[in-house]
Amino acid sequence: MLGDRQQLSYIAAQAADARLNLELETEGMTLNIGPQHPATHGTLRIIARLDGEQVVWAEPACGYMHRGYEKLAEVRTFPQVTTLVNRIDWLGSFANEVPFILAAEKLMGVEAPTRAQYIRTILFELSRIANVSLFLGDLGVQLGAITPVFLAFRDREYVLNLIESATGGRFHPNFDRIGGLKDDLPAGWIDETRAVMKKLRGFCDQIEDLLFGNEIFQSRTRGIGVIPRDVALQYGLSGANLRASGVDWDLRRDQSLPMMWNKADWKVWTHPDGDSFARCWIRLQETRESTKIVDQLLGSIPAGPVMAKVPKIIKVPEGEAWVSTENPLGEMGYYVVSRGDLGPFRVKIRSASFNNISITPWLLRGVYVPDIVTILASLYFILGDIDR
Amino acid sequence: MSPLLAEIPYWGESLFRVLGGLVAVLLPAGTIVYVFLFKMMSFMQSRLGPMEAGPYGSMQLFAEVGKWLQKEDIVPERADARIFKMAPIIVLLSTFLLVVVVPFGPDALFTDLETGIFYALAVSSISVLGILIAGWSSANKYSLLGGLRAAGQLIAYELPMVLAVIGVVIQAGTMNLQKIVVAQNSGSMFGIDAVGHPYLISQFVGFVIFMIAIQAELTQAPFDMPIAESELVSGYMTEYSGFRFLIFFIGEFATAGVFAMIASVLFLGGWGVPFSWFGWTSIDEVDNWMNFAGPLIMFTKMMLIVFIIMWIRFSYPRLREDQLQRFAWKGLIPVALANIMVTSILKVVF
């Protein structure tokens, strides 16, 4: 027996077919986009029923890369879990560690020293920049312009080098500890970071000139895949996708966490249109804001330890905690249940991409095949973040 | 028969022509791939491109060809095997047919057709057939979509191309490519014959339309809908591998070269230099050394035009299918028709 959801989508598919056959007396074609397809940069599969080049019905099929992190976390100790959650959104790994560590700290009642909080915030924003700058380049490739991606890879490399020199890991830093950080920053890191932030602002200008100002790019993205404000809220979108629909919502600003975003002066951008262009534009602006946050925080890092006093063997007291942060892809949260053991009893991971792609069946109805790619690119998901 | 070949027996002349045809198609294709695809694109994207095979990676192309030749020639199980195998050859064939009418010098030409440009536009459409059957016979949905897109696009852009050429034909008063070259080089503008009369100047609108149309005919970005690697994997080429893919690949760049040659013949004065420089007045007075200098001049002009094509290709995103059709039918064709009217009015007035 099919599940309710599957049954509904099956009925929708049948209805779409019947409508096609009635109106045009032609047969629809089912196009399987993925699991291996250049547009999905990962193993996402989209089943689309086509009428010519128009999509009548589409449905994402995820789960090809499910790695069971929620279950695996139950048989790990608390410090070990960061190694797992690093791999959820692999482009912004450090940002994945932070909410989990914050949840554990909340349960234990410890708080990281101020210096550690500053460095955490800076690394968080750096991983956002590394993540979104790849998006800005990849956007070009999805729309057929091959040059921006190389510029993106070039400038993202500077950020990855910074992350590597601070944490030792380019992709998977595994740097956060309950109660602080593994190490202090290396010498000269702050000056280097300032120089890189300047380069990245240049990169943003370059992308704006090369891609966002291009008439073809605008005609491909403006008015394509419009998500109205109420629909965006209904489907539980978060992050830039939500802000592009005009919802002024940013967890970095709206939530009080032991992080240092409120110490910097920056702006939450929103866009009234809700189309693909708005989503891309919001991300471009956010990269600029992130470089500003990093610049301002670098100037005011206080001296002091980077690690609070925590026992060698970490046992988290009994209790439940939910912490979510504004990750590069949207809201990412962990619901941690502890029974006073070395490891968590249960972890629920709320990742942004899974909710963000849930809107695709609604959004892809009636668009053309090339627009599938535009819409998917502008929604911006990471496969690891969908399947966990 | 041209005087250059007067002393050679028939078989020798045929051999000469075949070798000449191969050189005229493959040499520009190879140069374009190396200079533009490997190197210029790399420099635009802040990287070096191939550097290992030969000095500055100059032997990379041979390495690539060697690699493709070694690969297995895969035919999908449900493909229509016979025409699946035929398709790339038809595409390349149209390129060879196209180069036949291009003049490279006063006597260095394959055939001197009186309706040369008409023939060229006609045979260039044969490649559509190859692409369409490649898309159809692959038994792949992506290939089918790509093939259909290609057919729609190539037919839509054939028309503005023909209309852009008509302006040149009206002005030169002939369809013979050799005579178009001579008309430009022996002509004068307002009595000044220092640079002859390249139709780039008087037919600038036609030139722009022609360039846009060949960009689309060659399916280069922003008109690369038929290949659209982020949507259709590789369009009509998805199922091809080994040397059949190589033929498509050569065909793509060889056609770019030949179309650029035709554009240089129509708008930049082809193989010639302005005749007034050496005191020539007609084709018969042109010195014999132009048969050697001509191809080189032609090659330079071709590279300039291909540079423009590739420059646009590497920096623009791709149009959507309906936008592309709208651009051809609502933008280019009316402008091209207006260009013809203005040209013919001016032709009658002056």
In chain A, domain spans: 4-61, 69-387
CA A243/CA A279 separation, integer angstroms: 8
**Tens of pLDDT along A237-277?**
888 888 888 888 888 888 888 888 888 888 888 888 888 88
Chain A, window 196-215: residues with a beta carbon less than 8 angstroms from a chain B beta carbon: 210-211, 214
Looking only at the bridges linking them, the beta strands covering A176-177 and A54-61 are unpaired
pLDDT tens profile B38-69: 888 888 888 888 888 888 888 888 888 888 88
| Contacting residues of A for B228, CB less than 8 Å apart | 144, 370
Taking an 8 Å cut-off on Cβ atoms, the answer to whether B222 and A38 are in contact is no
What is the amino acid identity at position A198? K
Q: What is the pLDDT of residue A145?
A: 80
Mean pLDDT of chain B: 83
Q: Which residues of B touch A146 (CB under 8 A)?
A: 41, 45, 221, 314
Alpha-carbon separation of residue B80 from A131, B83, B130, B135, B138 (angstroms): 45, 6, 14, 11, 7
pLDDT, tens digit, 9 for 90 and up, residues A44-82: 888 888 877 788 888 888 888 888 888 888 888 888 888
Task: Give B228→chain A minimum CA distance, Å.
Answer: 7
Round to whole Å and give the CA distance between B230 and A153: 18
Q: What is the least distance, in Å, from the CA of B203 to any CA of chain A?
A: 26
Residue B2 has pLDDT above 60, yes or no: no
Q: Left if phi > 0, otherwise alpha if psi is -120 to 50, otherwise beta: which for B92?
A: alpha
Beta bridge partners, A29, equal A50
Enter the pTM of the model.
Answer: 0.79
- Asked if residue B275 is part of any domain, the answer here is yes
User: Which range has the worst mean pLDDT, A328-332, B158-162, B197-201, B203-207?
Assistant: B197-201
Q: What is the pLDDT of residue A27?
A: 65
Q: Answer yes or no: is pLDDT of A28 > 80.
A: no
Check if the beta carbon of residue A317 is closer than 8 Å to that of residue A103: no
The pLDDT of residue A163 is above 80:
yes
Predicted confidence at residue A106, as pLDDT, reads: 87
When the pLDDT of each residue in chain A is averaged and rounded to a whole number, the result is: 84
**B286-330 pLDDT, tens digit each:** 777 778 888 888 888 888 898 998 888 888 888 887 888 888 888
CB pairs under 8 A between A and B: 80
| pLDDT for B32 | 80
In the predicted model, what is the mean pLDDT of residues A287-305?
88
- From the list B41, B225, B230, the residue facing A38 with the nearest CB is B230
Mean pLDDT on B86-100: 87
Q: How much of chain B, in percent, has pLDDT values that exceed 90?
A: 2
Cα–Cα distances in angstroms (integers) from residue B130 to residues A374, B22, B49, B153, B246, in the given order: 30, 20, 31, 14, 15
Confidence at B121, pLDDT banded by 50, 70, 90: confident
CATH architecture of A69-387: Orthogonal Bundle (1.10)
Confidence class for position A26, pLDDT limits 50, 70, 90: low
Confirm or reject contact between B45 and chain A (CB < 8 A).
Answer: yes
A1: buried, middle or exposed (CB in 10 Å: 19+, 13-18, 0-12)? Answer: exposed
Whether B323 contacts chain A with CB within 8 A? yes
Which of A216, A373, A378 has the highest number of chain B CBs within 10 A, making it the mutation to test binding with B?
A216
Q: Which chain A residues have a beta carbon less than 8 Å from that of B47?
A: 150
Is B130 inside any structural domain? yes
pLDDT of residue A24: 57
* B143: containing domain: 73-349
3-state secondary structure of A368: strand
| Residue B108 belongs to some domain of the structure | yes
Is A145 in CB contact (< 8 Å) with chain B? yes
Question: Is there a domain that residue B59 lies in?
Answer: no
B319 part of contact set with chain A, CB < 8 Å:
yes
Number of domains in chain B: 1
pLDDT more than 70, % of chain B: 97
Task: Report angle CA A295, A298, A303 to the nearest 5 degrees.
Answer: 170
* B230 vs A: CB within 8 A: yes
Write the DSSP symbol of residue A302.
P
Output the pLDDT for position B230.
67
Q: What pLDDT was estimated at residue B146?
A: 84
Note whether B317 contacts A214, CB cutoff 8 Å.
Answer: yes
pLDDT of residue A17: 66
Contact B315 A147 (CB under 8 A): yes
Residue B268 CA to chain centroid, in angstroms? 14
Would residue B97 count as lying in a domain?
yes
Q: Report chain B residues whose CB lies below 8 A from the CB of A211.
A: 317
Question: Is A150 an interface residue toward B (CB < 8 Å)?
Answer: yes
Distance CA A341, CA A84 (A): 19
CA distance B184 to B193: 10
Q: Between B47, B230, B320, which is nearest A150 by CB?
A: B47
- Beta carbons of A57 and A49 less than 8 angstroms apart: yes
Q: Decide if B48 touches A, using CB distance below 8 A.
A: no
pLDDT tens digits along B160-195: 988 888 888 888 888 888 888 888 887 777 777 777
Closest residue in A to B234 (Cα) is A38
A47 close contact with B: CB closer than 8 A: no
Q: Please, are residues A350 and A331 in contact by the beta-carbon 8 Å criterion?
A: yes
* pLDDT at A1 (0 to 100): 43
Complex-level ipTM: 0.71
- Which of A21-35, A280-294, B138-152 shows the highest mean pLDDT? A280-294
Is residue A364 less than 8 Å (CB to CB) from chain B? no
| Token duo for residue B180 | 């178009």
Yes or no: say if A330 and A239 are a contact pair by the CB < 8 Å rule: yes
Q: Contact A151/B145, CB-based, under 8 Å?
A: no
**B320:A37 CB<8 A:** no
Residues of A in contact with B317 (CB under 8 A): 140, 143-145, 211, 214, 216-217, 220
Q: Is residue B32 part of a domain?
A: no
Residue B1's pLDDT is 44
